Amino acid sequence: FPEGKLQILFFVGLLEFWSEFAGVHYMRGGKPGQFPSFYYRFRTPGDTTQATLFGLPVPELWDPLGLIKNMDGPTRTYKLAKEVNNGRLAMLGLFGYFVESKVPGSVPALTALNIVQPYSGEYMLAFSWFDYFDFFLERSQFNAPSTVIKPF
């Protein structure tokens, strides 16, 4: 198991644990997308200094710059719709690159720019444990033809 994948899995697991432990789940009345605050968990009541954990400042994951708390409802709804549509457009663009790399000539704009190189690998390999083993098993010596010399 690659160490980088394990680090990402561990960090996301910690965030999942914190969101379930420290806040109100969105299925029980919490706000979808809002992450529980680290700030109030690691300081004493009445303390106005920056919260720290092991000597490091603790960031807020929900509205770290404080831009949303003073926004009126219609503006917030409009900006949320813009953010969601921007994310959808980014996903379409990314999939355009994926398709062009697998099927050259399928996205005419990217073909004309000639910036996408063909890719023969598997994009979803990182998300499948069994495919990961199959990938390396196919390229290992286990499936190689036998080198034993057979008698006539």
User: Pick from 33, 88, 22: which is nearest to 61 by CA?
Assistant: 33
Report the chain's terminal Cα–Cα distance, integer Å: 44
pLDDT given for residue 101 in this prediction:
93
* Contact criterion met (CB below 8 Å) for 92 and 100: no
| Secondary structure class of 52 (helix, strand, coil) | strand
pLDDT in tens, 28-38: 877 777 777 76
pLDDT given for residue 106 in this prediction:
93
The amino acid at residue 92 is L
* Contact criterion met (CB below 8 Å) for 133 and 127: no
The amino acid at residue 81 is A
Helix ranges, 42-72 (H): none
Between 49 and 95, residue with greater pLDDT: 95
> Is pLDDT of 5 > 70?
yes
User: pTM higher than 0.75 for the full model?
Assistant: no
Between 79 and 6, residue with greater pLDDT: 79
Q: How confident is the model at residue 94 (pLDDT cuts 50, 70, 90)?
A: very high
Beta strands in 2-115 (DSSP E): 52-53, 56-57
Which of 64-68, 83-87, 94-98 has the least mean pLDDT? 64-68
pLDDT in tens, 51-82: 666 667 777 776 777 788 788 989 988 988 99
Which residues have C-beta within 8 Å of that of residue 49, sequence separation ≥ 6? 43
